Structure 1
């Protein structure tokens, strides 16, 4: 197994958050334009999606080279972006890329739910090394995050089906990630009593 190498935390954040931010700014620049390739017209959103896919893959490639490792979540998310980005370009239909967010959040909710039915926390399997916590705490966090991902999946469906593309792009880029981050921060604070003390005190 390849050894995981440490990199500058700021650089790691740039590589992880850079592609979504690049998509946001490319979309803002191209949203009012139409492009014709091979006799077919493509909107600025479609072109921004097409450009986003190689940008994200390049950033993940650099991250893999620098760290020697990619998480299962990163690999799954990359697959979903490539797959639905490809469908978006092939069918010239932006709804495929918008649905991707629903399916990603929905998949996470289903996987966590399956683990809960088995009395396990798949979340602990992924994050236990970074966040030492007792089994009871992991089960509580997994249960809450399962419902949280399900809520985000439903929210994405409501947003892209009822609101404008402009609003969806803004909520997708900033709203959902900030909501998830805030939710996790609150949960970690609430679950402090379940954290393992490395000193045994």
Structure 2
């Protein structure tokens, strides 16, 4: 398998996080308004979802075109966003889009847990190029990530079912990425302990 083509890291970050930031901006501008489209009234949340879905599709295609590769997580996320975002817009019901992160995280937790049971570390296949580690390190990281995704699924359910729409949008836009970044920072010692030497080290 060929290595992904290198692109400007700022461009890559913009393509990955730009659609989410756009969703946040559109929602914040329209959250207290009702928008009428083709004779049907939609909340600001639904309009933000309507904007987010095609923009995510375009940014993901652009990322694939520029790098020549998409991670399995990116593909799964795109498919579920199109399905559940489309259902939210079609049925004019925000619940479908809100439950989407729960389903994504449960799928990832299940896949990682299943890979541990089968003794085949799929996480290593996806991330080994960026984080070369010994097999024991991958087993520990896989277990921790499976538990993380399970916890995120539970957290998403609690937030969208018990808090305001604005609280959920803030949680999705800033809370979930911050938790993921914090997770990898917290595992820095694991990466150092089980790291494999790189060429030239």
TM-score interval w.r.t. the shorter chain?
A: over 0.9
In the alignment, is the contact (CA less than 8 A) between 1:120 and 1:139 conserved in 2? no
Paired position in structure 1 for 2:188: 188
Question: What is the rounded CA distance, in whole Å, between the counterparts of 1:147 and 1:173 in structure 2?
Answer: 21
Question: What is the rounded CA distance, in whole Å, between the counterparts of 2:48 and 2:181 in structure 1?
Answer: 25
SS of 1:32 mapped into structure 2: coil
In the alignment, is the contact (CA less than 8 A) between 1:99 and 1:157 conserved in 2? yes
Mean Cα displacement is larger for which, 147-156 or 71-80? 71-80
Question: What is the rounded CA distance, in whole Å, between the counterparts of 1:152 and 1:3 in structure 2?
Answer: 31
Paired position in structure 1 for 2:58: 58
Task: Give structure 1 regions of 4+ aligned residues with deviation exceeding 4 angstroms.
Answer: none
In the alignment, is the contact (CA less than 8 A) between 1:16 and 1:60 conserved in 2? yes
Question: What is the rounded CA distance, in whole Å, between the counterparts of 1:186 and 1:59 in structure 2?
Answer: 30
Paired position in structure 2 for 1:83: 83
Mean Cα displacement is larger for which, 42-51 or 54-63? 54-63
Matches within 5 A, 1:44-193: 44-193=44-193
Query: Where in structure 2 are there 5+ consecutive unaligned residues?
Result: none
Q: Deviations over 1:99-154 (max 9, x none)?
A: 00101111110000100111222110100111100000000000011001000000
In the alignment, is the contact (CA less than 8 A) between 1:84 and 1:96 conserved in 2? yes
In the alignment, is the contact (CA less than 8 A) between 2:102 and 2:152 conserved in 1? yes
Relative to the length of structure 2, the TM-score reads: 0.95
Question: What is the rounded CA distance, in whole Å, between the counterparts of 1:121 and 1:181 in structure 2?
Answer: 22
SS of 1:35 mapped into structure 2: strand
Q: Deviations over 1:22-48 (max 9, x none)?
A: 100010011111122233211010010
Matches within 5 A, 1:19-30: 19-30=19-30
Question: What is the rounded CA distance, in whole Å, between the counterparts of 2:185 and 2:99 in structure 1?
Answer: 27
The CA RMSD over aligned residues, in Å, is 1.6
SS of 1:143 mapped into structure 2: helix
SS of 2:187 mapped into structure 1: helix
Query: Where in structure 1 are there 5+ consecutive unaligned residues?
Result: none
Question: What is the rounded CA distance, in whole Å, between the counterparts of 2:152 and 2:186 in structure 1?
Answer: 16
Q: CA deviation at 1:199?
A: 5.2
Aligned length: 201
Q: Does 1:8 align with 2:8?
A: yes
Relative to the length of structure 1, the TM-score reads: 0.95
